[in-house]
Amino acid sequence: MRTLIDIGEAELKALDRIAKAKRVSRAAVIREAVDDFLGRSSAEHTAEAFGLWGNRVVDGLAYQEKIRSEW
C-alpha cells in the first residue's frame, strides 16, 4: 500500500546514503525502519503487561480471592 509522508531534506539525504550503502531502495530502508519501530513498540507494550506482579510478595490468586471476598 502506498502512503504519502513529509520528510525533511536532511533525512532524505541520510536515507539515500543508507540505501546506497545497503544497495537497496530508499523505500526498502523506510519499510525496514517502520518494521523496526513497530517491533520495538509492540515489545515495550508486552514488557509492560507481563510481570506486573513480579515485585510483589502476595500471590496473584490469593490477592484476587481476597479482593473478591470484600464484595
Q: Does some domain include residue 62?
A: yes
Q: Does some domain include residue 2?
A: no
Q: Does some domain include residue 1?
A: no
Q: Are 26 and 36 in contact (CB under 8 A)?
A: no
Rounded distance between C-alpha atoms, residue 16 and residue 9, angstroms: 11
Q: Does some domain include residue 3?
A: no
| Residue segments in the chain with a per-residue pLDDT below the cut of 70 | 43-54
Boundaries of domain holding 21: 9-69
Q: Are 18 and 27 in contact (CB under 8 A)?
A: no
Q: Are 24 and 15 in contact (CB under 8 A)?
A: no
User: What is the domain count for the chain?
Assistant: 1
Q: Does some domain include residue 61?
A: yes
Q: Does some domain include residue 41?
A: yes
pTM of the model: 0.59
pLDDT > 90 in the chain, percent: 48
| pLDDT tens figures, 59-69 | 778 888 888 98
